[in-house]
Amino acid sequence: MNFVFPNEAHVTWSVMIVLYPYITGLVAGAFIVSSLYHVFGRNELKAVSRFSLASAFVFLLFAPIPLQVHLGHPERSLNILITPNFSSAMAGFGFIYNSYLLLVVLEIWFVMRSDFIARAKGKGLVPFICRAVLLFNLHEDDATRRADHRIAKFLAGLGIPMACLLHGYVGFLFGSLKSNPWWSTALMFVIFIFSAIVSGISVLIFHYFVVSKINRWRIDQGCVRAMGRYLWGFMIIAVALELLEILSIAYKQTEEWEVLDQLIKQKLMITYVVLQFGVFSLVPFLMLAISALFKLGDRLTNALVWTSATMLLLAMIWLAIPSSGGHVNAGVRAEHRIDVSIGSATVYVNGRRLGQTPVTYVGTAGEVIEIEVRLQGYATRHERIEVRPNGTTTLTMEAQRSSESQRKLP
Amino acid sequence: MSDDTGHDPKKSRRDMLKAIGVGAGLLLLPIGRVKADKDDKTADPDYDWEKHYWGYAVDTTKCIGCLACMRACRAENDVPAGYVRTWVERYSISADGTVRVDCAKDEMKGFEEVKDEPVKSFFVPKICNHCEKSVCNQVCPVGAAYRTKDGVVLVDTQRCIGCGYCVQACPYGSRFINPTTHTADKCTLCYHRITKGMQPACVQACPKGARIFGDLADKKSPLSILLRQRRYRLLKPEMGTHPKCYYIGLDREVI
């Protein structure tokens, strides 16, 4: 018995809701890279440490846009901040988001204060903006530099749990989606964090090469190699966790698996299995392994690291958009009734016998199936139908004039 | 805060707090006004919501699946096509125990014809359960989902941001995002009618008396008497939502 309430046949949460965790993933990942330098002293990442902060800031500013697009009344979105209902998990969004934004802004301010001071001298718009950002205090000596450095280190340390909170919170919201078996797992939080780090490092590598090329900067080879190694390590964990999650659902063979199995074998075969795991995970894994384990020339290393970062970035988009959108849409179980105008015919779905009409096909919403309907004395019908919740397809059977059975009739 | 400026630090702090207080008060002012206006439009001036506590009962043994309730609801509340505030589910159980559930996609056309012979078949009309501990109220981030004192769960359409969290959260599928207003929409128990002493449209339209609306606060109301005389069940009581829609003759297959 699989029945979807009439109102639930409509999809309320779709692609725009899914884009948000993808972007916060980039933010959290990029921030963690900068923290690796600022807090854990990974000096090989110095070249991208400030760059990663700027990336985190830009992505964070953009993150609420898809959410705004999703809302029925974006002009009222500030209500979440003005009149929050604290019993709702979503009411925390504005506070978590804004405190993280504040933290990133402060971190950038303390890390880049010297750069702002250098640019604040002279006349014109840019120096004036720099002076305004510095609150018109251009004083700098060794003591202020030490203080700035100390505060930046503290903020970067604070930023790691905050990044986990920002991103894990989204995981929590999604985990409460009752319509989605794929997401409601305790592993979701950990998967979210690790895929965030992977996409964060990937986007940094991608941008670092592009921006260096445009500005004709000299690429820091040590930094690239280090990022390649980190990317390799974190992607192994992220992909392993994702596989582990599916394996555990598959092994338990619960009702959820019936839905996911069909989803993976039919609708997501190309995007999920072939492209995401086959092409966009295995290939970067091999390329990164080669660049990490063998001593290669700079140009070859750069090419391998950049290509795999770009591929992983695409893989994460793939993970976020079509498959998850697919989870939301197609994860809804649908019961589609197949019937004929006369008698009781035999229905075959994708070549397999389903049963005698009226028969109900249980699948996932949006799935397209090929049916064959056979009834003795009538022309066999072949149809492609889209499975809808509570959908019904009634086929008109036409008598086969020249068939054996008719001729035998008295 | 510094002393060398000549200001009294305590006084300036007090002034600042005062200014913040006034500012916050000004911010809150329009919110109160919006609610007051809304109440004026819908409720009867003599109506006292402290004196009532509305409930609903469905006698599934009486429903004949004519869908007059759905037509009445759509006409009364201007419910957009493709969405429902109330609906009727049909349960058909065949000899081998297979349970089939379906709904009429179009209440003007009615249910589709059944070809096979079910051994047992019945209808279950559904509406919002107006839960005492409703999930939708819990998850609404802006407090646009609210419960009136007389026990009706409503949506403040002036406040709703259309995030759809309540739609995802309701275990009964009672809510939807209205494609015209872009806000959450649901059964209001015809609040505009019941506050004027009338029955909800679906109750009035039902030719068999399968839908019973009444006041739980009044121990002599037909609903209160019915609930004392008959045995009933609630939908998904394990969700802890404490629904206020009571079902008489509910079979175990019903979800």
**Beta-carbon separation of A76 and B138 below 8 A:** no
Q: What is the DSSP letter of B198?
A: P
Q: Give chain B positions within 8 Å (CB) of A357.
A: 115
Q: State the pLDDT confidence band at A406, using cuts at 50, 70 and 90.
A: very low
A255: pLDDT confidence band, cut at 50, 70 and 90? low
Contact B67, B202 (CB under 8 A): no
Task: Write down the pLDDT at residue A267.
Answer: 65
Counting residues of chain A whose pLDDT is more than 90, the rounded percentage is: 14
For β-strands A333-340 and A391-395, DSSP reports them as parallel
Q: Is the pLDDT of residue A38 over 50?
A: yes
Mean pLDDT of the region B25-40:
47
pLDDT of residue B2: 41
Which of A84, A90, A360 minimises the CB distance to B165? A90
The average pLDDT across A247-261 equals 75
Say yes or no to pLDDT of A328 above 60.
Answer: no
Nearest-Cα residue of chain A relative to residue B174? A7
Question: What pLDDT band is residue B215 in, cutting at 50, 70 and 90?
Answer: very high
Q: Do B253 and A1 touch (CB under 8 A)?
A: yes
Q: What is the pLDDT of residues B43-74, one digit of tens each?
A: 577 888 889 999 999 999 999 999 999 999 99
Q: How many CB pairs lie under 8 A apart between chains A and B? A: 118
Question: Could you read off the pLDDT of A149-183 as tens digits, one per residue?
Answer: 999 999 999 988 888 888 878 777 766 654 455 55
pLDDT at B30: 46
Give the pLDDT confidence of A71-92 residue by residue, as tens digits.
999 999 888 888 899 888 888 8
* Residue B97 Cα distances to A380, B124, B253, angstroms: 30, 18, 10
Cβ pair A79:B171 closer than 8 A: no
User: What are the pLDDT digits (tens) for A374-389?
Assistant: 888 888 888 888 777 6
Residue A261 to residue A251: CA distance in whole angstroms: 11
User: Which residues lie below 8 Å from residue A187, measured CB to CB, with a gap of 6+?
Assistant: A241, A244, A245
* Interface mutation target, options A85, A328, A354, chain B, most CBs of B under 10 Å: A85
Q: What is the mean pLDDT of residues B155-183?
A: 91
Per-residue DSSP letters for A142-195? HHHHHHHHHHHHHHHHHHHHHHHHHHHHHHHHHHT-TT-TTT-STTHHHHHHHH
Please give the domain boundaries of chain A with CATH numbers for all domains.
6-330 (1.20.1630.10), 333-408 (2.60.40.1120)
List Cβ neighbours of A125 (8 Å cut-off, separation of 6 or more): none
When pLDDT is cut at 50, 70 and 90, the band that residue A325 belongs to is very low
Q: What percent of chain B has pLDDT over 70?
A: 83
Q: Report the residue from A7, A8, A85 with minimal CB separation from B143.
A: A85
Interchain pair A87, B168: CB under 8 A? no
> pLDDT per residue over B4-17, tens digit each?
444 555 555 666 66
pLDDT band per the 50, 70, 90 thresholds, residue A369:
confident
Measure A93 CA to nearest chain B CA, in Å: 9
pLDDT exceeds 80 at position A36: yes
Q: Residues B182, B184, B187, B193: is their CA dihedral positive or negative?
A: negative
Q: Is B47 helix (H, G, I), strand (E, B) or coil?
A: coil
| pTM of the full structure | 0.70
- Do the Cβ atoms of B175 and B181 come closer than 8 Å? no
pLDDT at A326 over 50: no
Do B167 and A7 make contact, defined as CB atoms within 8 angstroms?
yes
A183-234: pLDDT as tens digits: 556 667 777 788 888 888 999 999 899 989 999 888 888 899 999 999 999 9
Give the residue on B whose Cα is nearest the Cα of A338: B115
A21: preceding bond cis by omega (within 30 degrees): no
- Residue spans per domain, chain B: 3-42, 48-84+128-255
What is the pLDDT at residue B19?
62
Q: How far is residue A357's CA from residue A345's CA, in Å, rounded to a whole number? A: 5
For residue A16, the chain B residue with the least C-alpha distance is: B163
User: Does residue B193 surpass a pLDDT of 80?
Assistant: yes
Pairing of strands A333-340, A359-364: antiparallel
Residue that the structure tokens 């599934």 belong to: B60
Judge whether A7 and B84 are in contact, CB under 8 Å: yes
- pLDDT for the residue numbered A320: 55
Quote the minimal CA–CA distance from A139 to chain B in Å: 21
Nearest CA in chain A to B100: A1
Average pLDDT over chain B reads: 85
pLDDT above 50: residue A329 = no
Q: How far apart are CA B141 and CA B167, in angstroms?
A: 13
Q: What's the pLDDT at B16? A: 60
Among residues B255, B163, B242, B108, which one has the least CA distance to residue A333? Answer: B255
Across the interface, do A12 and B171 touch by the CB < 8 Å criterion? no
Mean of per-residue pLDDT scores for chain A: 81
Chain B hits for A91, Cβ within 8 Å: 141-142
Contacts of residues A369-377 at CB distance under 8 Å and 24 or more positions apart, as own/partner, are: A371/A338, A371/A347, A372/A347, A372/A348, A373/A338, A373/A340, A373/A345, A373/A346, A373/A347, A373/A348, A373/A397, A374/A345, A374/A346, A374/A348, A375/A340, A375/A342, A375/A343, A375/A344, A375/A345, A375/A346, A376/A405, A377/A403, A377/A405, A377/A406
Contact across the interface for A90 and B163, Cβ inside 8 Å: yes
Type and span of the H or E element at A199: helix A188-215
**ipTM surpasses 0.85:** no
Give the chain B residue whose CA is nearest to the CA of A343.
Answer: B115
Confidence grade of residue B161 (pLDDT, cut at 50, 70, 90): very high
Q: Are A297 and A286 in contact (CB under 8 A)?
A: no
**Confidence band for A43, pLDDT divided at 50, 70 and 90:** confident
Tokens for A135, please give them: 């609150």
Considering all CA atoms of chain A, what is the largest pairwise distance in Å, rounded to the nearest integer? Answer: 111
Quickly state the pLDDT bin for A319 (edges 50, 70, 90). Answer: low
Those residues whose C-beta lies under 8 Å from the C-beta of residue A133, and which sit 6 or more positions away, are A109, A116
CB contact under 8 Å between B83 and A6, yes or no, is yes
Residue A217 exposure: Cα atoms within 13 Å on the Cβ side:
13
pLDDT of residue A256: 67
CATH architecture entry for B48-84+128-255: 2-Layer Sandwich (3.30)
On whether the CB atoms of residues B218 and B200 are closer than 8 A, the answer is no
Whether the CB-CB separation of A193 and A201 falls below 8 Å is answered with: no
Name the pLDDT band for A239 (thresholds 50, 70, 90): confident
